[in-house]
Chains A and B, each alone.
Chain A
Amino acid sequence: MIEVDHVTKRFGNITAVRNVTFHVEKGEILGFLGPNAAGKTTTMRIITAFLPATSGTVRVAGNDVFEKSIAVRERIGYLPENVPLYNHMKVKDYLRFVSRVKGIDDRNRDSRLEHAIELCSIGDVRETIIGKLSKGYKQRVGLAQALIHDPDVLILDEPTNGLDPKQIIEVRELIKNLGGDRTIIVSSHILPEVSMTCGRVVIINEGEVVAEDTPENLTAKLKGSESLFLRIEGSPEGILSTIKAVPGVMSVTTNGEGGYEVDSDVGQDVRRDLAATLVGQGWGLLEMRPIGMSLEEIYLKLTTREESEV
């Protein structure tokens, strides 16, 4: 449905997006993840035909976004990071304006309007002036704007930005419900966001795609080592040297309060040896549990590794 091929975008000397390639299938919800200023918004703006790419092509439903820009825009609903609202308008008038600009004809306008209002549950503010709405409502009005022409493709740039936890859950549910027939790209710099709603994740950093997979595979693939957490009673120096001596242990760190994190080679279970050695030397082993790498850590690992190379 969405094919982004070798897209590069330069602003003067600065390369905001470098050779980005990913495809999104019909009906898929793709999470677009990256720290701030990684090139997420730029990429989304290129997909929505707001910015032209310096090189590379983007196709939406087979149409090139640059050559058939209007055809593409008819099929895309876009919620920019800064929600584009006219603060002097009433919610209902704003949505009516958007529906006219998007070419919804008079017969269908009211029903589409009501549908969007209902989906985003903004019925109780339809007569309110947008400038007076809370951030959460504004975000939802922005979402209603993106949905109003029933687009096949939804591009949502940080849709939960600035919302309170309850609203975040609501928006997340809404995005999940919107899936199905629609193809959705959701960007975020917050991980749980993406891992909860999306079937697949593209991680972007400094303008380049650094990883692309399902959240589960990503976790498995990126696990460079197995990690264990231990809680042990005794003097840290002695414990550290004891642990290091166990075969298969790559590194060990302590938090200074009796907690230790042990990394070992992938596929090697050091738990039995570790426990036997520790107990054998008289240290009080209180706790031992494996730690899976959370998406959060992967994300940090991917995005900081890039930085250290630069």
Chain B
Amino acid sequence: MANNPGNTQMRKSLAILEKELEAYFVSPIAYAVITVFLLLSGFFFYNILSYFNLQCLQYSQYPYMLEQLNVNEMVMRPLFHNMAIIILLITPLLTMRLFAEERRSGTIELLMTSPVTHWQVTLGKFGACFIVYALMVGITLLYTAVLMMHGEPDFGPILSGYLGLLLMGAAFISVGLLASSFTENQIVAAVISFGALLLFYMIGWLSNFVGTTMGEILSYLSIVEHLDDFVKGVIDTKDIVFYVSFVLFGIFVTVRSVESSTWR
């Protein structure tokens, strides 16, 4: 133990992570959220695919037009965007209990008086939520399998799209985690994170009405806008930097918020 302090520290985070994962699956939260997500995204997938089939049928007489129809562009891209919206609505429900519940039940006192740092606790919780999220999004790979069976989608943009979804989800979770650290009421935490996420989603809309520089900044801040490059198959450092720094900042502020929550 003493000769490998880093390992011990990792293990404490891992203990928190496993505890949170267990909590997700012992309570119905994870099942409910994942089920609703899959139902909604399945509905969108079916809807989009049916429309695509209809178009294929309509243009079947015109080989030139038929060539223009692209599974990636016409099915996966709108699907990713629709999923992003569902995720925006649903991640606050995954994150709301992370700190709020500990504060409500008083178990925060156990964590904060145990020899674990705020970072270990926060990272453990973030990790657990991210795993649930990745599992939820990962199941939708089945849709891709359906496309593979009946068509020839380009696999590159799909993979990069999923990478984008994971990064975006991580950013959503970091916002939710922060909101959860503010309060001992889960509903309040969910409302705050939902509001913040929606604001980050809509902030890009303002870019048309303000100056060019300001507009660029606002559209850069737009949390879903960065997903579009990934969905198109473009992995841009700019987007990765945005999401990664967003997540790190979110976690950093959460740690500070947890630290100071007992001071007030």
Contacts and interface: CB of A to CB of B under 8 A. Distances in A.
Nearest to B112: A50
A197 to B, nearest CB: 22
Q: Classify chain B's interface size.
A: 20 to 34
A100 interface: yes
A52 interface: yes
Given A51-B262, A84-B105, A74 B115 contact: yes
B19 A97 contact: yes
B81 interface: no
Interface stretch (B10-18, B130-138, B248-256): B10-18
Interface in A68-85: 70-71, 73-74, 76, 78, 80, 82-85
Contacts of A103: 1, 8, 11-12, 115
Give chain A's interface residue range (CB within 8 Å of chain B): 20 to 34
A76 B113 contact: yes
Interface string A88-99: 110001000110
Interface in B98-144: 105-117
B107 A84 contact: yes
Nearest to B16: A101
A306 B38 CA distance: 64
A102 B263 contact: no
Secondary structure class of chain B's binding surface, majority of residues: helix
B69 to A, nearest CB: 50
Contacts, number: 77
Contacts of B109: 45, 50, 78, 80, 82, 84
A99 B12 CA distance: 10
Interface string A228-270: 0000000000000000000000000000000000000000000
Overall SS of chain A's interface: loop
B15 A49 contact: no
B203 interface: no
Contacts of B19: 86, 97
Interface string B1-27: 100000010011011101100110011
B18 to A, nearest CB: 8
Given A101-B116, A102-B115, A103-B1, A145 B12 contact: no
Contacts of A50: 109, 112-113, 262
A248 to B, nearest CB: 54
Nearest to A145: B110
Contact of B113 (A48, A85, A100): A48
B9 to A, nearest CB: 9
Contacts of A51: 262-263
Interface in A1-47: 11, 45
A181 interface: no
B31 to A, nearest CB: 14
Interface of B: 1, 8, 11-12, 14-16, 18-19, 22-23, 26-27, 105-117, 262-264
